[in-house]
């Protein structure tokens, strides 16, 4: 049994069924680019969406150009045995495990989750002044994130989603208050 909230990713095997066609389900595999071939639409981006979300988008696209009413069922038959790497982010400074972390297609990674995967902020790390460096239009963009505040508040809107090549730096504090 596959978790219904599992987000689709490259390599997942699914069955797409358009009930009005009465042809039964079409077995498909999500491509490395996160697309699914759905006749008569062609390729539809499904990576990062649940089966229910993807079915709703397919239904909407079908009803736009091909059907008056479409009933779409999308079932995940088998989860990809391998994860498709989408990129790498790098952690440095005062985290417990420094170094690269892989971005996996269909599974967004946020700054806070990357730090948690690295064992959290080290004993001498300053969680209030975490720096995210990102290349944008040939220039380095620096964003300061209060990791401690985001974790304590649970406000996911202030937790940046990472992109390939991002660098996270946790600076050192020089004195600690107990």
CATH number for the domain running over 85-170: 3.10.560.10
Q: What is the pLDDT of residues 88-108, one digit of tens each?
A: 899 999 998 888 888 876 678
Q: Is pLDDT of 148 > 60? A: yes
pLDDT higher than 60, residue 17:
yes
Residue 85: pLDDT over 80: no
Going along the chain, which residue ranges are E strands? Answer: 13-18, 26-29, 35-38, 42-45, 72-78, 85-93, 99-104, 130-136, 139-145, 167-170
- For 121-146, write each residue's pLDDT tens digit: 888 889 999 999 999 888 999 999 99
CA distance 70 to 84: 32
How is domain 13-78 classified at the architecture level of CATH?
2-Layer Sandwich (3.30)
Q: Check residue 56 and give its pLDDT.
A: 93
DSSP annotation of 88 = E
- Write out the residue limits of the CATH 3.10.560.10 domain(s) in the chain: 85-170
- For β-strands 167-170 and 85-93, DSSP reports them as parallel
- Predicted TM-score (pTM) of this structure: 0.55
pLDDT confidence of residue 106? 63
Nearest Cα neighbor of 93 from 73, 62, 115 is 115
What is the pLDDT confidence band of residue 83, given thresholds at 50, 70 and 90? low
Arithmetic mean of pLDDT over the chain: 86
pLDDT tens by residue, 40-65: 888 999 988 888 999 999 999 999 98
At residue 3, does pLDDT exceed 70? no
> The tokens of 126 are what?
């300053």
Rounded to whole angstroms, how far apart are CA atoms 113 and 121? 11
pLDDT at 12: 86
For 167, phi then psi, to 5°, come to -125, 135
26-29: strand order across its sheet: 26-29, 13-18, 72-78
What pLDDT, on a 0 to 100 scale, did the predictor assign at position 82?
62
CA atoms within 13 A on the CB side of 14: 30
Going from the C-alpha of 47 to that of each of 21, 50, 53, 80, 120, the distances in angstroms are 25, 8, 10, 12, 28
């Amino acid at each position: 049994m596959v978790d219904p909230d599992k987000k689709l990713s490259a390599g997942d095997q699914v069955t797409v069924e358009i009930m009005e066609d009465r042809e039964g389900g079409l077995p498909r595999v999500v491509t490395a680019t996160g697309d699914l071939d759905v006749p008569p639409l062609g390729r539809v981006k499904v990576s990062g969406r649940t089966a229910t979300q993807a079915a709703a988008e397919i239904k909407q696209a079908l009803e736009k150009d091909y059907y008056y009413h479409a009933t779409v069922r999308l079932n995940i038959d088998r989860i990809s045995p391998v994860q498709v790497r989408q990129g790498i982010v790098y952690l440095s400074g005062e985290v417990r495990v420094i170094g690269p972390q892989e971005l996996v297609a269909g599974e967004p990674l946020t700054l806070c989750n990357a730090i948690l995967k690295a064992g959290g902020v080290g004993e001498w790390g300053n969680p209030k002044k975490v720096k995210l460096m990102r290349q944008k239009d040939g220039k380095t963009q620096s964003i300061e994130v209060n990791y401690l505040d985001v974790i304590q508040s649970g406000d996911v809107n202030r937790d940046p989603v990472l992109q390939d090549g991002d660098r996270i730096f946790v600076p050192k504090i020089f004195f600690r208050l107990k």
